[in-house]
Chains A and B, each alone.
Chain A
Amino acid sequence: MKKPLLHQWLATLEGKKFASICSEYILAFRSPCIMPEHILLTLLEDENALEPFATCMPVIDDISYRTRDYLSQLPLARHICDEMTGEFAQRFWDRIRAIGEEAGLQNPTSDMFYYVLLQEDDSFAQEILRHYGFVLEDLHSAIVKGVPYHLADLNAPAPKKDGEAAQNGVPEELASLLIELVQVAKDGKMDPLIGRRKEVEELMQTLNRKKKSAPVLLGAPGVGKTAVVEGLAWLVSRGEVPPTMANLRIYALQTGALVAGASLLGEFEQRMQNLLKFIESSPDNVLFLDELQGFMGIGPNGPRSESGSATNLIKPEIASGRLRVIAATTDDDYRKTIALDKAFARRFHPIHILAPSQDETLEILLGLEDAYFQYHGVHFPEPLLKRIISLTERYIPQRFLPDKAIDIMDVVGAKYRLHRNDSQANQAPVATDADVEEAVSKAANLPSIPSAQGENDDFAGLANLEERLKAVVFGQENAIREVARAIRIAKCGLLSERAGTIGNFFFSGPSGVGKTELARQLASVLEVKLIRFDMSEYSTEQMVTRFVGSAPGLVGYDEGGQLTNAVRDCPHCVLLLDEVEKAHYLVHSLLLQVMDNGTLTDSRGIQTDFHNVILIMTGNVGCTEASAKSSRLGFGTSPNAPVDPDIIAAQFRRAFSPEFRARLTAHVIFSPLGLPEVEHIVEAKFARLAKLAKSRNFHITMSPEARTDIAQRAMAQNQGARPVDRILEQEVTSVLAQLMVDGKSRRTLTVVLQDGKVVLQQG
């Protein structure tokens, strides 16, 4: 028996302690004999044996818990042997001795215990150790080499990142908080700087100030504030900066990581102090706070608390000039959060970043083309980039260049990248106009955008606008001509100053002559949405607030206005305001600025753009008077006799203020419908019904007499063409439906006039 070494160890204090804890576990779980799990639990209780878990301490509790759980599920034994004897114990010590001899060690180490436990087949200990990542071979080589074994840490940063951090001299505890932009640029992971030299120059000047060397970049979202800072880093990485800036290091702060996990009192402050100390350790270090508003008020005591917040900690550092900071935020957020803290705001030097012009944006896109080609594998030729810019300017006016244009480029590229076919890899595809149009229409929430080539896209649907409208709206040639003319002029850009909407129309005319219908058909011909408001709902002063949103402090303030929300969601539309004369006069004054400037500001102060809206207002002001007068004059009693436009115009002048009338593109007067027109309408509506019936295999036709009868009866009701629907439904559609349900009828039917009544005749 060659056990002396091991016996020696078991006789030491350490060994005795081990044996006694182990037997305590055997007794505690009332196991019949020693098992590998008891040894594992004993190991986990020894601090010196926990080294493998150095990087993932929580695992220890997990293993311990699960092992105890396993042991407690086994049946309790009546006879318990709490000594380290038996076949297993024998095998265990034999293996310990074997590995000890291999490693040339006299005393067993904890790694050896883990190693031998891992060798114990069909045991829970082996299973759970494997589960948590112990690898027998790795453990073996670690023991033989005499180095402590460590479980691979799954949450640890990749080794390469550690290397980078070490190079830049960022202390380990700050490595996750900071990204060094110059290094990123050196690694070639940053897009090049195009244009923006003036802004970068100003940025560098401010950074070189003796005190308050803290520029804050202000600009609308998407104009490229972050890009300016990245551009500076890019220039530094290429050595294209004055010598004083050559060694600049720009550290972008991950604001979220600053607070994350700071669970102890003072931990956050400690991090801030470490951060500031590090940044101030070299005059070449600059801290970059993107989205400065997110940095405001963060601190251990929650947002907006004064004491100990991050802003208070860096304020004095900026003022003294020890800390160099670049911040970036939007104008809005600057006003709302940063400017409120006057002491903080005055320590920054604002630099305004304006959106680049279309030409500058084109230059930027051309510069980015290569980077996007590398990533997406699709080319964007210059004409296409121009088109992206013009389309986004036209259809997404609420966002800013260059961001919106780059967005479209990225969306199109992503589509190609997703469906990339590797077999065609030798020939890179080129993005097409259609891709861009699709992406823009999705971004602008439009069903489709005109796909005409080049600069002519405004004229799509305009060429035969009049004909197409006449085909669907009957008897209003005059009105259609007026509307088509005005829209043509506006869309061709021939108005001296295009400040307001595309066109402001007022349709007057008696009820049911097709005012609303024309608006609806115009929208469908121009392929834009129709947004309809019934203005009789806005007849009181209180309701007017719904249009642009409630005043601050009132319920519904956050929701914005119904009109402004609708138009902002869908900026290209036909906006139909029905029965305008019934609305409160305040609504009229609201509409004045829409017609004149094309903007409306809601109660929250958000501007809505109306430049792509065709505004159509309808009303039947003056029509009653006009028709009454004409009938009194004795031109027959027909209520559909032609109305006198002069009378309507006079009434219109009385109902609306001069400034309102002056802003209209056209006041279109709809004439009442005559019998031929109404017959036309009956025919058109019947044709629609016949088409539906045909899909059910019923062929229906209509005799001319029946048509005339329906038209006459509809006209007799003095409601324009509106009764046509009702008569058709009552006398034809319902009968037809009954026949269909009965299933006895023949499949060919004719609508005829029989004894002064409209009936369906079979055959």
Chain B
Amino acid sequence: MANQPNHTTKVTTTVRTERELRPPQMYDVVLYNDNVTTMEFVVALLMTVFEYDREAAVSKMLQIHHSTSQVIATYPKTVAEYKKQEAEAFKTEWGYPYCRLEIVPHGGEAHP
């Protein structure tokens, strides 16, 4: 914002710098494969916390089973945090502390 009166023309120029409105960064919730957590628990987790239906949850679970990790949901940052918190609570409740969940920026680098 620069208000500089131009002495010769009596015109005052106001410079307005406007940022473009960008959609905010989304975050992925990533679930890792391990050898301890049962398939039933993963299906239950996907269905309760991440609102999958049974069929989708089973197929997602199998995808995780056959790989190291999978993106199970994409949310705005605050929601992703909340969902992770919910999932942690769910883990504790069911007694599966080894099931690993992470939040990573959507569209970022490959997960480790």
Give chain A's interface residues, CB within 8 Å of chain B: 31-36, 66, 70, 74, 77-79, 81, 86-88, 120-124, 126-128, 130-131, 152, 154, 157-161, 184, 189, 375
Contacts and interface: CB of A to CB of B under 8 A. Distances in A.
Nearest to B4: A158
A158 B11 CA distance: 10
A33 B82 contact: yes
B54 to A, nearest CB: 14
10 tightest A-B contacts by CB? A88-B78, A33-B82, A122-B25, A87-B81, A158-B12, A86-B82, A158-B3, A122-B77, A131-B21, A35-B78
Nearest to A38: B78
B53 to A, nearest CB: 10
The A interface is mostly helix, strand or loop, or mixed, namely loop
A88 B82 CA distance: 7
Contacts of B84: 87
A380 B27 CA distance: 69
B84 to A, nearest CB: 8
A78 B78 contact: no
Contacts of A34: 78
B19 interface: yes
Contacts of A123: 24, 76-78
Given A32-B79, A123-B78, A161 B12 contact: yes
A36 B8 CA distance: 48
Nearest to B15: A154
B55 interface: no
Contact of B19 (A81, A131, A159, A375): A131
11 contacts: A31-B79, A35-B78, A74-B76, A86-B78, A88-B82, A123-B77, A124-B23, A127-B23, A154-B14, A189-B7, A375-B8
B24 A87 contact: no
B10 interface: yes
A574 B55 CA distance: 94
B110 interface: no
Interface residues of B, number: 30
B22 interface: yes
B109 interface: no
A131 B85 CA distance: 31
B22 A127 contact: yes
B24 A33 contact: no
Given A31-B79, A87-B85, A88-B78, A77 B3 contact: no
Nearest to B12: A158
Given A87-B85, A131-B19, 9 more contacts: A32-B82, A87-B78, A124-B76, A126-B24, A130-B19, A131-B18, A158-B3, A158-B14, A189-B8
Given A123-B77, A154-B14, A87 B19 contact: no
A35 B76 contact: yes
B14, B27, B83, B84: most-surrounded residue (chain A CB, <10 A): B14
B5 interface: yes
Contact of A77 (B10, B51, B78): B51
Contacts of B10: 184, 189
A130 B18 CA distance: 9
Contacts of A88: 78, 81-82
B3 A159 contact: yes
A81 B5 CA distance: 54
Given A77-B51, A121-B77, A158 B5 contact: yes
B19 A152 contact: no
A87 B84 CA distance: 10
B36 interface: no
B2 to A, nearest CB: 10
Tell which of B7, B23, B77 has the most Cβ of chain A within 10 Å. Answer: B77
A34 B24 CA distance: 16
